[in-house]
Amino acid sequence: MQVLWICPKCGRGFANRNQSHSCSNVQLKDHFVGREPQVVQTFHRLLAAATKSGPVTVLPEKTRIAFQVRMSFAAFTLKRRWIDGHVVLARKLDSSRFTRFEYFSPGNQLHAFRLLEPAEVDDEVEAWLAEAYLVGEQKHLSPARRSARQR
């Protein structure tokens, strides 16, 4: 496993050397100020769901909170009454709950959604996070090896 590159300014670790990002001193609790309690609870449910796949680095940025393994695989912006979030998947997934889709590359396809309360972090959302976690681990980058093993 490769060693992460650590940004000397903000101390965050990245898979790619000199990964572009915005260094920040924002703390997680700053994102909870002025938010309805159910919004904060929803965020904690999301984090708990994501960590079912393994350890997650939580990166509070200026306008959003990113979940990262080697790469960021999900990010959430806490509003007063809801959360706008997205997961990064290595395919286009259809769900009526997605509000926006953006294609960046085969391994980087953004699926955005909005959540209002903790109960919305259900099996479907957990499945999105579990699939996105694999993207965060960059395991999807070796499909040739995977298909070779299946034979």
Site residues (CB under 5 A) for Zn ion? 7, 9-10, 23
CB-based contact 67:50 (threshold 8 Å):
yes
Nearest distance from residue 23's CB to Zn ion, in Å?
Answer: 3
Which of 25, 105 has the CB closer to Zn ion?
A: 25
Task: Determine the 3-state secondary structure of 58 from DSSP.
Answer: strand
What is the full DSSP assignment across 110-139? EEEEEE-SGGGS-HHHHHHHHHHHHHHHTG
Nearest distance from residue 1's CB to Zn ion, in Å?
Answer: 22
Nearest distance from residue 10's CB to Zn ion, in Å?
Answer: 3
Which of 59, 125 has the CB closer to Zn ion?
A: 59
Which of 19, 51 has the CB closer to Zn ion?
A: 19
Structure token digits, residue 69:
């393994």
